[in-house]
Amino acid sequence: MTFTLAPQFRARVRLEEPMSRHTSWHVGGPVQMFFTPESRTELAAFLRALPQEVPVYWVGLGSNLLVRDGGLRGVVVCTHGTLDRLERTDETTVYGEAGVACARIARQCVRWGLGPAEFFAGIPGTFGGALAMNAGAFGGETWRQVLEVETIDRHGHERRREAGEYHVSYRHVEPPEEDEWFLAARLSFQKRPAEQDDEVRELLERRRATQPIGAWSCGSVFVNPPGDHAARLIEASGLKGRAVGGASVSSKHANFILNDGNASASDIESLIQIVRDTVAREHGVTLHTEVRIVGEAR
C-alpha cells in the first residue's frame, strides 16, 4: 500500500518507524508512517488527507499493544506529548485530552480534592487508551466517571457525544460509529476533603509490591473472567516462569508477560497462546486478551 504525503505534514512524520520504540514491551516491526500531530487542527487536516483505505492506529504510551514483528501497514497517530491538556472546569468536573498519562490524572485530582480518581494511578497508559477499553485498577473503572467525550473521525470531523451513546462493559467499549476516535473527555468526580498525595503513593506502593514494575511488559495481558482472576488461573496451571525465547510469565504476577530484553513479538504471542491453551485445558476457562495484537508476522 503506497500513498503520497502532503508536504506540510513531513516535519511531523517518520517513515518506516520501528514500533519497538513506542510500545512498553519494546517489540514490534515498523509502521509505514508514524505521525505526531502538533495540534487538533493539524490532526484533522492529516486525517482528511489520508486515502480512505489507509488503516489508522492510535498509540499513547503503547502499554496495551503488541505489534507483530512484520510491522503495520498504514499510519500510527501518536497522542502522547501533544494532546495533553488537563484542567478542572468546575468544582467537580475535570477535562482531559487523550494524550494525558493516567497517573497524572490521579495525582492532579487528589490535589484538587476530587475522587474517586486514585485508581487512575494503576493504569499504565494514557487517557485515550483508558477511554477506548474502559481501563481500570484497584476497583475503579474509567467510564464510571465519564460525562461526555470529544471524538474525531477519519474525515477530520470533531463531535461531542454523551457517555450514554456508548455501550460500556468490563474492559470493553462499543462506539456508536466505526473509525471515530477519542480526543478528550469530561469526567465527573465528588468533592473530598483536601488530601495529600498519600493515597496515590499507597496505591503505587501496592502496585510495586505485587507487580513487576520496571520490567518490560504491557501490564495485564488477560481480562479477568467472570468471578475469577486470570492471574490465579495462570498460576494454578503451573505457568509462572514459563518462557518462550526471551518472553516469560512473571514469577511475581502471573498475568504479566515480560520481555527480558531479547524477546520478539512472536515469542510473546506464542507464550500468550500457550497460556490460553493451558488454562483452557486445566480449568475449562477461555482467557481473552486485554492487550491488543496488531500487525503482520515476519
Torsional sign, CA 195, 198, 204, 207: negative
62, part of any domain: yes
Sorting pLDDT into bands at 50, 70 and 90, what band is 204? Answer: confident
Q: What is the DSSP string of 56-98?
A: EEEESS-TTEEE-TT-EEEEEEE-TTTS--EEE-SSSEEEEET
| One domain for residues 131 and 64 | no
CATH number for the domain including 62? Answer: 3.30.43.10
pTM to 2 decimal places: 0.92
Q: Which of 16, 46, 78 is the last residue of a domain?
A: 78
200, part of any domain: no
202, part of any domain: no
Query: Residue 195 pLDDT > 70, yes or no?
Result: no
Sorting pLDDT into bands at 50, 70 and 90, what band is 3? Answer: low
**Domain total of the chain:** 3
Please tell me the least confidently modeled range out of 8-12, 34-38, 75-79.
Answer: 8-12
Range of the domain at 105: 86-191
Sorting pLDDT into bands at 50, 70 and 90, what band is 1? Answer: low
User: Mind listing the pLDDT tens digit for each residue in 210-225?
Assistant: 788 889 999 999 999 9
Query: pLDDT at position 194, please?
Result: 59
Give percent of the chain with pLDDT exceeding 90. Answer: 82
Alpha carbon of residue 281 to chain centroid: 29
CATH number for the domain including 142? Answer: 3.30.465.10
User: Which whole number is the average pLDDT over 94-104?
Assistant: 96
The residues carrying an active-site annotation are: 171, 220, 290
96, part of any domain: yes
Please tell me the least confidently modeled range out of 144-148, 205-209, 264-268.
Answer: 205-209
Q: Which of 30, 52, 78 is the last residue of a domain?
A: 78
283, part of any domain: yes
Query: Residue 72 pLDDT > 80, yes or no?
Result: yes
